[in-house]
Structure 1
Amino acid sequence: MNSKEPCKSELQEEFKERMDYNELLNCMRCGFCLPSCPTYVETNRNEAASPRGRIALIKGVVDGLIEPDSQFENQLNQCLGCRACEPVCPSGVRYGHLLEEARDIIEQKKTRSIIVRFIRWLTFKQLFPYKSRLIKLNGLIWFYQKSGLQKLVRKSGFLSILPTSLRQMEKILPDIPAPKEMKHRERYLKSETSRKKTVAFFSGCLMDTMFLNTNQSTLRLLQKVGCDIIIPDLQVCCGALHGHSGEKEQAKQLAKKNIQAFEKLEVDWIVVNAGGCGGYLVDYGHLLKDNQDFAERAKKFAGKVKDISEVLVELDFHKMDLQLSNQVVTYQDSCHLRNVMNSSAAPRTLLKSIKGLSYKELKESDRCCGSAGIYNLVQEEMSLSILDHKMKHVKDIQPQVIVTANPGCLLQMKVGIEREGLRHKIKAVHISDLLLESTKSSLGDHF
């Protein structure tokens, strides 16, 4: 054993102290979760790669029956964290909570190489918690795209030395807004019609920089259905990336800042347009359950979080005159929007209400696309295997448009389109952008 590594008995003791043993025992090993688990399916039914298998491994470590070695850690890391196992579990096991706790225990006890420590420090502590730094980073990408440097780099062949995942990401990056567009934003927007609701908008980190145009589309949609909108200036990253990657304490700090930024606002809902963010925001109650000062405040905050699709349906957006040119569309579920926020019908209701669209249901649309935060970067082989499986179903129905409700899913589906050579036949779009386009098309405007 590396002298820098914690003693295995010490790590086991940490598992014993921190894991919710009653929740581990709730798993009846019935196997209902198996067909819903992408990694179980992709590994030809490897039991250890299933939810009940991973729960058994964690329980084995807690009971002292197995050691928390590299194989144990690798099996936990191979999990997407999509939580598709939760809705089908008859015992209601909160597998996602168990997984995050286990990853956090390992991460806080294990000593990584200096390179890994630096990357994690830079990403989790120095970049995502600070909007101003994300704006600067996106400014560099904007310069890369607009200055001609991108064309030069592509022609030079330099990209060929990068890992496959990074080469693919470079190809499908959205057009980054100019840095000046990301600054000096309005913080209060009035409804375009008579006010029905007052809402707060959770703008996110990547959504409010790299995907700023989609945020703008979302705000316009809210105005069209009668919402006055408040955008708190002090909000920060939701913490999902941290919580899923063994940085739970940092996630808690971000959660506290968000609660403080929103809790004094007199609003009906806190609206979010990224399924991954929303799934983490509604879990703040669990994340801060042991914090005397924030436990109840977190529950109150989480109770107001609502996805944009649910808001639009509730405010009858789908009854408006919506129209697009004739085309076949399909929808890929965001895992956390479906499995944690329990929203799957609303996006489909909205898409089916647009004249000109022919909606075709994607087989296994409820199965993860393989993005899962940074999973497509750190578990590239499994991620691409899952994506290739997904794209087979896409080709079966031959849509012109794949609609998603999460930025990671959007990029992943664009990667799939690139890998299949379908760029000129299929496009992937966020649901907010498509819905706004449908309102303009119905008025005869060009989007």
Structure 2
Amino acid sequence: MKDSFVENVNEEYLTDCMRCGFCLSACPTYLATNNDETHSPRGRIALMKAMRDGDVVWDGSVEDSFDMCLGCRACEPACPAGVQYGALIEETRIAIQQVKPKKFVEKTARKAAFDGIFADQKKMAGTVKLIQFYQKSGLQKATRKIGFLDLFPPFMKEMEGVLPAVEKKKKREKKRGNPSKTATTKVAFFTGCLMDTLFQETNRKTIEMLEWLGAEVTIPKEQQCCGALHGHSGELDKGVRNAKANIDAFDSDDYDYIVNNAGGCGAFLSEYEKHLQADSEYAEKAARFSRKMTDISSLFVKLGLNARLKELESEEAGIVTYQDSCHLRNVNKVFLEPRSLLEDAPGFEYKELIDAESCCGSAGIYNLLQPEMARRILDSKMKGVKELQPAKVVTSNPGCLMQMQVGIQREGLEKEMQAVHIVDFLHEAIHKKQKQG
């Protein structure tokens, strides 16, 4: 294991850490474990260095420390030394995956996920068709009625309960952009794998709103999963494979922006430049891709949505609040834009959620791999939600959306509040007013 850490983990990044402790109060796992240093960024960096130097022998406790990390990167904005923790935890997971013995089931599952479902949009669509069959055939009702889901871990049962209804394929295929001949802003839309399957209605509304704001929307073919799950799971080489496919698909001067509506995807997409800077064939194209990448909230603001929202009037509908997508905030530095849109949305009073900047516990597939810690973090998050009592909890990422839906469901608050994607929230606010008009 030591040799793998030497090969993969950047020593200069490790020595940037001054052990000042500014990261501690920003780390959800450190706080959730009653200030256990091994579950803090500072403690994990110390373990990385000790593994690299051969001062610590690899065992289960070391592995637990790294596995418990959410990868939320909240420690980065808090760090006065600019430690690149995101790169370090990615490199650490690469070092582990390269030498850690794997059982057949794990090998098979990783191959199916990273070389199959999340490497080919067609395979992702096929997987989602199975979910659609499960929902539409009556199988879902039957399994719930007989209590079959009780055989699974509680969190998997909860996640099954908040899965969005999957639309039929024919309906999905029709929902594509209708370019405006008078558009002055040209946009390429990164649809995402989960967003364009489980949350395709949100994608449809994204396109509709962009066109309403005067943009011409193009959806490049051959785009794939962004590669974030690969990168966060020690499979960065496969994430880079996806990155190259996406760069090729979007490499055109025909549009001004590449827009996405999933915070977790957006962070990895914006770092294509970093991951491919040493690649002579892709470095320049990756830099161009990353420069054009923008989040949907940021683009809505640039296209003047705030002013359009202020023109609308509506009856008071309650409090709206916002739960940050960790990567959108900590990597892309986008947090003011979505709040400004919610503040200007008609009919709602915006109020800040307590610790909105802290992770909700979703973190990609973390809530499936580390359900106990994810639950503790979500329970803490829901204390703030219950204190605020909003009608809407708005998010900017599909994983965060489902996680907050689980929290609301677990607390029995479904009749009092909803968790919604920011695009769905804004689209509904505008659509309601247009109906009234």
TM-score relative to the length of structure 2: 0.96
Spell out, residue by residue over 1:199-222, the C-alpha distance to the aligned partner (whole angstroms, 9 max, x if none): 100000000000000011111111
For 2:144 and 2:184, how far apart are their aligned partners in 1?
50
For 2:162 and 2:351, how far apart are their aligned partners in 1?
24
Cα drift, residue 28 of structure 1: 0.9
Instruction: Report which stretch shifted further, 48-57 or 270-279.
Output: 48-57
For 2:8 and 2:417, how far apart are their aligned partners in 1?
47
Aligned to 2:300: 312
Say if 2:122 is the partner of 1:122.
no
For 1:350 and 1:184, how far apart are their aligned partners in 2?
29
Q: 1:323 to 1:40 in 2, by over 3 A?
A: farther
Say if 2:402 is the partner of 1:408.
no
Cα drift, residue 267 of structure 1: 1.2
Say if 2:242 is the partner of 1:254.
yes
For 2:335 and 2:58, how far apart are their aligned partners in 1?
37
Conserved 8 A contact 2:8-2:94: no
Conserved 8 A contact 2:28-2:358: yes
Say if 2:26 is the partner of 1:17.
no
Give 1:189's match in structure 2, choosing from 178, 196, 199.
178
Say if 2:279 is the partner of 1:294.
no
For 2:221 and 2:33, how far apart are their aligned partners in 1?
45
Aligned to 2:57: 67
Q: 1:406 to 1:429 in 2, by over 3 A?
A: same
TM-score relative to the length of structure 1: 0.94
Conserved 8 A contact 1:313-1:350: yes
Aligned to 2:204: 216
Aligned to 1:8: none
Spell out, residue by residue over 1:58-78, the C-alpha distance to the aligned partner (whole angstroms, 9 max, x if none): 011111211232221211110
For 2:291 and 2:90, how far apart are their aligned partners in 1?
22
Aligned to 2:357: 366
Give 1:202's match in structure 2, choosing from 176, 190, 203.
190
Spell out, residue by residue over 1:67-102, the C-alpha distance to the aligned partner (whole angstroms, 9 max, x if none): 232221211110000000111111111100110011
**In structure 2, what residue type is equivalent to 1:372?**
A
**In structure 2, what residue type is equivalent to 1:395?**
K
The Cα RMSD (Å) is 1.5
Q: Aligned with 1:189: secondary structure?
A: coil
**In structure 2, what residue type is equivalent to 1:439?**
I
For 1:117 and 1:73, how far apart are their aligned partners in 2?
18
For 2:57 and 2:313, how far apart are their aligned partners in 1?
59
Give 1:95's match in structure 2, choosing from 85, 95, 118.
85
Conserved 8 A contact 2:6-2:52: yes
For 1:61 and 1:396, how far apart are their aligned partners in 2?
43
Say if 2:235 is the partner of 1:244.
no
Cα drift, residue 196 of structure 1: 2.8
Spell out, residue by residue over 1:160-196, the C-alpha distance to the aligned partner (whole angstroms, 9 max, x if none): 101112101111111111122334664x53138x423
Cα drift, residue 118 of structure 1: 1.1
Say if 2:316 is the partner of 1:328.
no
Instruction: Report which stretch shifted further, 134-143 or 41-50.
Output: 134-143
Say if 2:97 is the partner of 1:107.
yes
Instruction: Report % sequence identity.
Output: 47
For 2:174 and 2:275, how far apart are their aligned partners in 1?
32
**In structure 1, what residue type is equivalent to 2:435?**
G
For 1:369 and 1:127, how far apart are their aligned partners in 2?
25
Give 1:379's match in structure 2, choosing from 356, 366, 370.
370
**In structure 1, what residue type is equivalent to 2:207?**
L
Q: 1:306 to 1:228 in 2, by over 3 A?
A: same
Say if 2:404 is the partner of 1:418.
no
For 1:152 and 1:214, how far apart are their aligned partners in 2?
28
Conserved 8 A contact 2:4-2:96: no
For 1:107 and 1:322, how far apart are their aligned partners in 2?
53
Structure 1: 5+ residue stretches without partners: 1-10
Spell out, residue by residue over 1:222-276, the C-alpha distance to the aligned partner (whole angstroms, 9 max, x if none): 1111110110011100000110011111101000000011112421110000000
Q: Aligned with 1:92: secondary structure?
A: coil
Give the count of matched residue pairs. 434
For 2:293 and 2:8, how far apart are their aligned partners in 1?
28
Conserved 8 A contact 2:9-2:95: no
Cα drift, residue 318 of structure 1: 1.0
**In structure 2, what residue type is equivalent to 1:386?**
I
Cα drift, residue 17 of structure 1: 2.4
For 1:445 and 1:131, how far apart are their aligned partners in 2?
39
